[in-house]
Structure 1
Amino acid sequence: MTTSVLSGSAKHHGLAAHEVVLLLETDAHRGLGVLEAGERLGRYGPNTLPPAKGAGLLRRILSQFHHPLIYVLNAAGVITAVLGEYVDSAVIFGVVLINAVIGFIQESKAEAALEGLRSMARTQATVIRDGHRRIVASEDLVPGDLVLLDAGDKVPADMRLIRLAELRINESALTGESVPVGKDEVVLAEPVPVADRHNMAYSDTLVTTGSGAGIVIATGAETELGQIHRLVGSAQILDTPLTQKLAGFSKILTVAILALAAVTFAVGLLRGHDAVETFTAAIALAVGAIPEGLPAAVTITLAIGVTRMARRRAVIRRLPAVETLGSTTVICSDKTGTLTENQMTVRNLWTTAGLYEVTGSGYVPHGALHSPAGEMTTVDADHALRWTLLAGAACNDAALTHRDGHWDIVGDPTEGAMVVVANKAGFASDQVKSMLAREATIPFSSDRQYMATLHRDATSGTSHGQVVLAKGGVERMLELCGAQMDADGTVGGLDRDVVLEAAGELARRGLRVLATAMRPATGAEDFAEDRLPGGMVLIGLQAMLDPPRAAATTAVAACRTAGIKVKMITGDHAATATAIAGQVGLLDPTETGKDRVLTGADLAALPAEELPDAVDRAAVFARVSPEQKLRLVEALQARGHVVAMTGDGVNDAPALRQAGIGVAMGASGTEVAKDAADMVLTDDDFATIEAAVEEGRGVFDNLTKFITWTLPTNIGEGLVILAAILFGAALPILPTQILWINMTTAVALGLMLAFEPKETGIMTRPPRDPDQPLLTRALMARILLVSALLVAGSWWLFQWELDNGASVAEARTAAVNVFVVVEAFYLFSCRSLTRSAWRIGMFTNRWLIAGVTVQAVGQLAITYLPAMNALFGTAPIDGGTWLRILGIALAASLVVAVDKRLRRPA
Structure 2
Amino acid sequence: MPDSSEPPAAWHAASVPAVLDAFSVDPHRGLSDDEARKRHDEHGPNELVEQQQRTALQILLEQFQNPLVWLLIGAAIVSIFVGELAEVIAILAIVALNAALGFFQDYRAENALALLRDLSAPTAVVLRNGEWRRLPARELAPGDVYQLEAGARCPADGRLVEAAHLQINEASLTGESMPVEKQIEPLDEDTSLAERSNMVFKGSTVSGGRGVAVVTAVGMRSELGRIAELLEGVEREETPLQRRLSKLGRQLTYGALILIALMVVIGLVRQQPLKLVFLTALSMAVAVIPEGLPAAVTVVLAIGTRRMLKRQALVRRLAAIETLGSVTVICTDKTGTLTMGRMAATDVAIGDQDISLSDLASGGHDAAADGVRSLLAAATLCSDAHQPAASSADVDAAASKADNGEGDAAHQGGEPIGDPTEVAIVEAAADVRIDLQSLHERFPRVEEVSFDSDRKRMSTVHKIAEPGDLETFLPLLSSQGGQPGDARLVCCKGSLESVLSVSDRHWTGSDVAAIDEQASRDWNARHDQLASRGFRVLAVGVDVRAGGDWMRSNEGIEQNLILVGLIGLSDPPRSEAKEAVERCHTAGIRPVMITGDHPLTARHIAGEIGIGPADRVLTGRDLAALDDAGLSKAALETSVYARVTPEDKLKIVDALRQHGEVVAMTGDGVNDAPALRKSSVGVAMGITGTDVAKDAADLVLLDDNFASIVAAVGEGRIILGNILRFLKFLLSTNSGELWVMILAILLGMPLPLLPIQILWINLVTDGFPALGLAFENTDRHAMRRPPRAVDAPLLDREMLIDILWIGLLMGIVSLAAGGSLSPSAEDEARWRTMIFSVLTISQLGNALALRSSTEPLWRLGLWTNPLLLVSVVVTAGLQAAVVYVPFLQRTFGTVPLSLRDAILCPLLGLVVYVAVEGVKLWRNRG
User: Scaled by the length of structure 2, what TM-score is found?
Assistant: 0.88
Q: Distance in 1 between matches of 2:662 and 2:19?
A: 46
Which residue of 2 is the match for residue 255 of structure 1? 254
Which residue of 2 is the match for residue 866 of structure 1? 886
What residue identity is the alignment partner of 1:127? V
Distance 1:285 1:403, change over 3 A: farther
Matched position secondary structure for 1:598:
strand
- Does 2:832 match 1:832? no
Does the CA contact (< 8 Å) of 1:118 and 1:675 recur in 2?
no
- Displacement of 1:14 after TM fit? 4.0
How many residues align? The count is 886
Q: Distance in 2 between matches of 1:508 and 1:433?
A: 34
Q: Deviations over 1:637-685 (max 9, x none)?
A: 1111100001112332221111001101121112332222111112211
Which residue of 2 is the match for residue 740 of structure 1? 760
Which residue of 1 is the match for residue 837 of structure 2? 817
Which residue of 1 is the match for residue 531 of structure 2? 507
Q: 2:696 aligns with which of 639, 657, 676?
A: 676
Which residue of 1 is the match for residue 450 of structure 2? 443
Q: Distance in 1 between matches of 2:803 and 2:269?
A: 31
- Does 2:822 match 1:778? no
Q: 1:127 aligns with which of 116, 125, 128?
A: 125
What residue identity is the alignment partner of 1:562? A
Q: Deviations over 1:463-502 (max 9, x none)?
A: 0521222112223322222111244564555522332232
Matched position secondary structure for 2:864:
coil
Q: Deviations over 1:727-784 (max 9, x none)?
A: 3321111112111211112332222222223522222121111121112222222111
What residue identity is the alignment partner of 2:755? P
Show the 5 A alignment for 1:403-552.
Answer: 410-458=417-465, 459-460=469-470, 461=478, 462-463=481-482, 464-487=486-509, 490-494=512-516, 495-521=519-545, 522-526=547-551, 528-531=553-556, 535-552=560-577
Distance 1:541 1:476, change over 3 A: same
What residue identity is the alignment partner of 1:761? H
- Does 2:154 match 1:155? yes
Show the 5 A alignment for 1:79-228.
Answer: 79-104=78-103, 120=118, 127-129=125-127, 143-176=142-175, 179-228=178-227
Does the CA contact (< 8 Å) of 1:4 and 1:143 recur in 2?
no
Distance 1:586 1:439, change over 3 A: same
Q: Deviations over 1:402-454 (max 9, x none)?
A: 99999766543223322222222233544333233223333323322222222
- Does 2:751 match 1:731? yes
Q: Distance in 1 between matches of 2:587 and 2:426?
A: 41
Which residue of 1 is the match for residue 397 of structure 2? none
Does the CA contact (< 8 Å) of 2:175 and 2:668 recur in 1?
no
Which residue of 2 is the match for residue 363 of structure 1? none
Does the CA contact (< 8 Å) of 1:454 and 1:467 recur in 2?
yes
Matched position secondary structure for 1:721:
helix
Q: 1:660 aligns with which of 659, 662, 680?
A: 680
Q: Distance in 2 between matches of 1:265 and 1:900?
A: 39
Q: Distance in 2 between matches of 1:760 and 1:9?
A: 54
Q: Distance in 1 between matches of 2:176 and 2:747?
A: 76
Q: Deviations over 1:186-207 (max 9, x none)?
A: 2345443322322211123343
Which residue of 1 is the match for residue 600 of structure 2? 575
Q: Distance in 1 between matches of 2:585 and 2:740?
A: 48
Q: Distance in 2 between matches of 1:604 and 1:24?
A: 29
Q: Distance in 2 between matches of 1:707 and 1:545?
A: 49
Q: Distance in 2 between matches of 1:301 and 1:402?
A: 51
Residues 784-793 or 528-537, more deviating: 528-537
Q: Distance in 2 between matches of 1:863 and 1:697?
A: 40
Show the 5 A alignment for 1:250-649.
Answer: 250-359=249-358, 370=360, 377=364, 383-400=370-387, 410-458=417-465, 459-460=469-470, 461=478, 462-463=481-482, 464-487=486-509, 490-494=512-516, 495-521=519-545, 522-526=547-551, 528-531=553-556, 535-587=560-612, 596-649=616-669
What residue identity is the alignment partner of 1:251? R
- Displacement of 1:68 after TM fit? 1.9
Q: Distance in 2 between matches of 1:397 and 1:93?
A: 69
Matched position secondary structure for 1:73:
helix
Q: Distance in 2 between matches of 1:407 and 1:330?
A: 41
Q: Distance in 2 between matches of 1:98 and 1:746?
A: 17
* Structure 2 gaps, min length 5: 395-412, 471-477
Q: 1:693 aligns with which of 713, 722, 731?
A: 713
Does the CA contact (< 8 Å) of 1:612 and 1:636 recur in 2?
yes
Q: Distance in 1 between matches of 2:175 and 2:578?
A: 21
Which residue of 2 is the match for residue 365 of structure 1? none
Matched position secondary structure for 2:356:
strand
- Does 2:737 match 1:717? yes
Does the CA contact (< 8 Å) of 2:503 and 2:559 recur in 1?
yes
Does the CA contact (< 8 Å) of 1:662 and 1:679 recur in 2?
yes
Q: Distance in 2 between matches of 1:444 and 1:889?
A: 83
Q: Deviations over 1:312-354 (max 9, x none)?
A: 3322221101111111010000112221122111111121151
Q: Percent of pairs identical after alignment? A: 38
Does the CA contact (< 8 Å) of 1:822 and 1:889 recur in 2?
yes
Distance 1:259 1:634, change over 3 A: same
Q: Distance in 2 between matches of 1:41 and 1:173?
A: 26
Residues 462-471 or 186-195, more deviating: 186-195
Q: Distance in 2 between matches of 1:408 and 1:779?
A: 58
What residue identity is the alignment partner of 1:343? R
**Aligned Cα root-mean-square deviation (Å):** 3.2
What residue identity is the alignment partner of 2:808? A
- Displacement of 1:714 after TM fit? 1.1
Q: Distance in 2 between matches of 1:9 and 1:664?
A: 30
What residue identity is the alignment partner of 2:173? L
- Displacement of 1:840 after TM fit? 1.8
Q: Deviations over 1:836-872 (max 9, x none)?
A: 1222221122222332233223212221222222222
Does the CA contact (< 8 Å) of 2:160 and 2:199 recur in 1?
yes
Q: Deviations over 1:557-578 (max 9, x none)?
A: 2222211110101121211101
Which residue of 2 is the match for residue 763 of structure 1? 783
Q: Distance in 1 between matches of 2:461 and 2:920?
A: 81
What residue identity is the alignment partner of 1:441? E
* Structure 1 gaps, min length 5: 360-368
Residues 597-606 or 634-643, more deviating: 597-606
Does the CA contact (< 8 Å) of 2:380 and 2:429 recur in 1?
yes
Q: Distance in 1 between matches of 2:878 and 2:491?
A: 84
Residues 76-85 or 145-154, more deviating: 145-154
Residues 188-197 or 98-107, more deviating: 98-107
What residue identity is the alignment partner of 1:226? G
Q: Distance in 2 between matches of 1:831 and 1:316?
A: 25
Q: Distance in 2 between matches of 1:138 and 1:583?
A: 45
Q: Distance in 1 between matches of 2:23 and 2:288?
A: 69
Which residue of 2 is the match for residue 362 of structure 1? none
- Displacement of 1:902 after TM fit? 1.8
What residue identity is the alignment partner of 2:94? V
Q: Deviations over 1:109-140 (max 9, x none)?
A: x7699999887367566614555656667566
Q: Distance in 2 between matches of 1:191 and 1:353?
A: 40
Matched position secondary structure for 1:337:
coil
Distance 1:419 1:303, change over 3 A: same
Distance 1:772 1:859, change over 3 A: same
Residues 519-528 or 128-137, more deviating: 128-137
Does the CA contact (< 8 Å) of 1:626 and 1:654 recur in 2?
yes
- Displacement of 1:816 after TM fit? 0.6
What residue identity is the alignment partner of 1:417? A
